[in-house]
Amino acid sequence: MIGAGGLSLHRPFRERSFGLARKLMRVNWLFVLCVCLLAGVGYAALYSAAGGSPQPYAQSQLIRFCGALVLMLCIAMVDIRFIEKLSWPAWLLGVLLLLAVMKFGHVGLGAKRWMTIAGVEVQPSELMKLFLAMAMGSYFKRATPEQTGSPVFVFPAVIAILIPMVLILKEPNLGTAVITGAVGATVMLGAGVRWWWFAILAVIVAVCAPVIYEHLHAYQKARIDIFLNPGSDPLGAGYNIIQSKIALGSGGFFGQGYLHGTQNQLNFLPEKQTDFVFTIIAEEFGFFGSIAVLGLLMGIVALAYYTALSCSHVYGRLVALGIATNFFLYCFVNLSMVMGLIPVGGVPLPLISYGGSALTAVMLGFGVLMSIHVHRDVEFPETGDL
C-alpha cells in the first residue's frame, strides 16, 4: 500500500528518536554538495568583485557560510516534530522582530530593514519567510478538503500572511513583501485551498494597479518608470540596469576571463557584490558559465521540491514546498532584475550575493528542509507531546 508522497505505509519511522549516525546517513548529501558548490561560486564572484582580493567580501562571506553550514546540519538532526511545535512561536517572533526593526532599526539605502542584536546585523524580513512557511504548514497539516474550501477556516491563514506583508511594506521593501506573500500563497495552494480564489485576487490587483502605483514611494515609481524606459535617465535612475545589460552582453559565449571583466574591474557595475553579482559571472565566464550556474541553482530548487514530494507527512510537504518556492523566487527575481525583465529591487542572489542576513536565512531554511528529508517518514502524533 502506497501512501502520500509515494512512500510505503508498511514501514513508517515510528521511533520517537533515532541515532545520530542514522540521521547523518539520511541527509541528502547531494543537496549539501550543491549548496557548497554554489557558495564556492559566490566566493569566486566576490573575490573578483574586490579586484582579486578576499577582502572585504569573499573572506567574510566564506566564514559566514561555514558557520551557517554547521548550523544547517545541526538543524537537520532535530526531529521535525519538535520543529513543528516551534512554528507559531517562530511566526510570532518574526512579527515582533518586524515591529522592533520599525522602531530600533537603522536605515540603509533609504529603507529601515536591519537591526543589530547582540552585535549581529539581522534583517527580520528574510527570516519571516521561513517562519511563515512553517506556520502555514502547521495550520494546514491536518486540514480536510472541506476545511480548505471554507473561507472561515482559511481566513486566519490569510491574516497570518497579511500581517508580516504589511510590516515589510512599511520598511519599505516591496520585493520581499511580494515574495513573502507568494510563499504563503504557495503553501496554501499546496494544502488544497481553491486556486480560483487566488486567480480572482490576481485580477483585482491587476485592475487596481494604477491606484497601487500612485501610492508607491517615489523611488519605487522611479524603478517602474526606468524599467519601462531605461534610456530616459541613463546617468541617474537608469544607470544600474544599463550597465548590467552591458556586462551581460560583453561576456559573449566564453567570457572575458576570470578577473578580466572590464565592467567589473573598472567599477562600472553598480552594487556588484550584492544585487548585481550575477553580472560578474556573466561577463567573466560568458554564456556557458552563466548556464552552468543557472543549472546549479535549478538543481538545488529541484532537490528541494523532491524533498517536498517524497515526504510522507503533510507538515513536511508544505514547509518544504514553501522553502523551495522561496529559494526559487530569490533566484527568479534577482536574475530577472539584472536582465531588465522586471523592475530593479533589493533581492539578492542566494549564497552568491554578499550579505549575512540573507545567507543565514537561506541556510536556516535549508536546515529545516534537511530535517524534513531526514525525518521524511515519521508519524506525527494526533495529540500530546513527543
Among residues of the chain, what percentage have pLDDT more than 70? 91
DSSP string, 14-40: --S---HHHHHHHS-HHHHHHHHHHHH
pLDDT digits (tens, 9 = 90+) for 33-82: 999 999 999 999 999 999 899 999 999 999 999 999 999 999 999 999 99
HSE value, Cβ hemisphere, 13 Å, CA-based, for 305: 11
Higher pLDDT, 9 or 75: 75
pLDDT at 336: 93
> What confidence tier does 7 reach under pLDDT thresholds 50, 70, 90?
very low
Q: Return the half-sphere exposure (C-beta side, CA atoms, 13 A cut-off) of residue 23.
A: 19
Q: What is the pLDDT of residue 286?
A: 94
Q: How far is CA 56 from CA 53, 263, 379, in A?
A: 8, 19, 47
Specify the pLDDT at position 189: 95
- Report the pLDDT averaged over residues 136-145: 94
**CA angle in degrees (0–180, nearest 5) for 72-19-131:** 30
Best CA proximity match to 123, nearest among 111, 134, 140 = 111
| Amino acid identity at 308 | A
Q: What are 266-281's pLDDT values in tens digits?
A: 888 777 888 899 999 9
Q: Does pTM surpass 0.75?
A: yes
Mean pLDDT highest for which of 175-184, 263-272, 336-345? Answer: 175-184
pLDDT at 219: 73
pLDDT tens figures, 87-127:
999 999 999 999 999 888 777 666 678 787 766 778 899 99
Q: In sequence order, which ranges of the chain are alpha helices (DSSP H)?
A: 20-26, 29-49, 58-76, 80-85, 87-104, 124-140, 145-148, 151-169, 174-191, 195-207, 209-214, 218-228, 239-250, 262-265, 277-310, 314-338, 356-374
What is the spatial order of strands in the sheet that 120-122 belongs to?
A: 106-108, 111-117, 120-122
CB 12 within 8 A of CB 377: yes
When mean pLDDT is compared across 185-189, 201-205, 213-217, 301-305, the lowest value belongs to 213-217
